[in-house]
Structure 1
Amino acid sequence: MAAYFNLILQGTVYFAARRSAEDDDMLQMYSSKLLGPARDIESTFDTLYSRVARNWQQRDDVLTPFNDRRWSHVRSVWSFDLDSDILRLDKKDRNLWVPLNLIRQRYITISDFEPYEPPPTIAKHALQSMAVYPTPCWRIKRKEIDLQRIERHKAFISKILADFAFQWRHVLNGRYNNSTFRKFAYAIISIVTLDFTVEEVTLSRQGLGGFLVWIDRLPEWDFASRYIVRVGETSIVICQHAPHAVALIGEDFRKRILSTPDSEDRSFTYLILSVRELILYRMNNQRPKYTEPMRLFDGTHPPPDEAIELLLQATQTSTSALGAPLRKLPVELQDAILDNVSAGPIESARVGCLLDAGSSFSWKCGKRNIEREEGHRHRTPWTPVESHICFGGYRSGIAYK
């Protein structure tokens, strides 16, 4: 059995894992390290960091694994919150806390802890709360949508989005802070707009062991610096809470009206992205219109087709002029050219979508199905190319071969 440790100081989280003993034995160990003269926060941190565990990792968020069925090897999660001067003990069936000051005064047992109620997973102002607003929901009708192009992109990215949700389900089905939320939002935008890179592994290697994403991992890539990102004619609002999303839209709308001549009668389109849900929002000087909230990533189910189509429709941009000469060729020749773009099929498919060229991606390579890679397996010269999807140089946890 294992124990997870979080050491929290000034908002920064340090994470470690080690073999676990019984709870009272662990508490005796903590008391033996902290018992004695009053310590300041820094000396408490130094003691815990050097004596409780090894191989600490610096993180932006606290992760508890008990929402995932793979948690069975984890006995406890101990969180030393030095900012609040408390120790939290989270287990599958209970959540407890005790003041750290008590541990400094005497040896403690599990009976010294008090129960606490962790915050709910779904935020109070989730996007469903927009349904209580008096404006009726808008059924999207956009004449300029290229349905054939939407279907081409959907054939490629639907599986990537579903596999992303699966790989990160241990985080998506629980609570996560604003930093983690923005990383997930950035990943969704990057996948839908094909703004990612593909790292290809072609050489032989010994099996490294382990999974690409395990329940103790958090996303490492960066996130967008702004809360509103322009994609074509749509502004994506990265926000978890409906009232604030609407406030951001109103502020942005007023700025655009003032900065754009003769725009008083224009409508601007916004996509509210909360990771868990989506809403398409149309704003003008008369009244706002918005679609019903659609489920996206809930940590349990793959994203529904309707949500993926809404993402694609909202973010569709004009067809690249670079692909115009290629599109004049027969489809068979287009496919042959795209096959030579990269060693593996994933990057070729991404470029095909960007250029709007070639056949729709079938997730096959010859007669072989392209499958999601689970771990760092042994490779031989005959192993298919391993394609890792990356955001800003960081692997996303999704790979195919």
Structure 2
Amino acid sequence: MKNLCTHLLTISFLLISINGLGNNNAFRFKISGNNYTDETIIRMFNGATENFDGNYDAWKLFSSNTNVPSIYTQIAPGQELSINALPEYSIDKSVTIYTNIPVSGTYTLLIEEVFPLTSNYKVSLTDISSNTHYTILGDTSIVFTLNQQQEVATFTFNISTALSVISTDELCFNSGDGTIDLIKHGNSNWDYEILDLSNNILHFGTATTDSIHINNITAQTYLVKSFNKGIIDETNITINTPAPIIANFDLDKDTVYLSEGGIVNITNQSQNAVTYSWDFGDGGNSTATHPNYMYTSVGDYTIVLNSSNNNCTEQSSKNITVLASPNVVTSVENIEKNQLTLQNFGNGNYQITSTHAILTTITVYDITGKIVVTESTQQLTYNFSLENQPSGIYIVQALYEDGTVLTEKLWR
């Protein structure tokens, strides 16, 4: 009768104490076997410590009946607890649970969620002898075969804090340089996986510190998982990529004349850029958004634009011709296909064919305005050669018998 009263007294203390602690993160561990039952409680509570807390903890009262199994935690040998109130951890933690088993046999461990677990924690139980892990999701009952033993560390109650994931986006459009950091505070032995949304495993491994850093992550959404003592924690993380930079610009003309100032006006059509660098091909440069540039020497030049944003750069280029004077040649225009065709036979050999009227004079100028070919003709077709001329831009001028003059730019 005394043993029964002692056991009931223990339960009463447990219930009174646990009800005074609030309504979250409390678990009762009840072991049954050999026709007897004993229990202990582990609780996480703001204000509690890992030492003995007079307001929250309760010492273990052991039955004098040697047939009764016992279950408890301890601060240190000789300091056994029936209620163990612990702080609300911000790191992973394992609490050792001890047992006294009177006879070898089958025992049932019932884990009751007295008050619900808050969302920032996940918990499991580990059988120390077999290193088997059991995930605890609400009330859980597990059957064990235990040997006769006294004051033996039998289980661990594992408290897992939320997996922390930190990411950085791609620096440039589709640059593939995103990063993911996985952090399990206070845990130096855990497994991880990173999967795409089709459940393909892209990265995995075992961490030997509380954090893992992964480079060269491409832009998409990932499922990140950690595995620790039967506890699986997972979250989605998205790596973003910035909008693509489009480098582009328009020239108000593709031929400028020194006699008219040699000025080209540029309209920047770039998108998603914030800084610009211009190279005008003659040693001149600018960082203006819409520059106007004055050439001072005859020649063929390439204007190059580098459009940038956050160290990301895209490039665009256009060619421009600088002539001394428009008096050398009338304005360069595109010849309508139904009036004149210019055919390139290769090796500097060309043929002009007119469908408009009889050609009377053909004149070819180099970039400086020098005449390199001129001939009077009364034909619809005329062949000429530039095989002895250097590579570059030439202007072909065709004079018709009706007085029409057409010009075309020719690249040799």
Q: Which has the higher contact order (CA 8 A, sep 6+)?
A: 1
TM-score (norm 2): 0.22
TM-score (norm 1): 0.23
- Which structure carries more helix by proportion? 1
Q: Larger Rg: 1 or 2?
A: 2
- Which structure carries more strand by proportion? 2
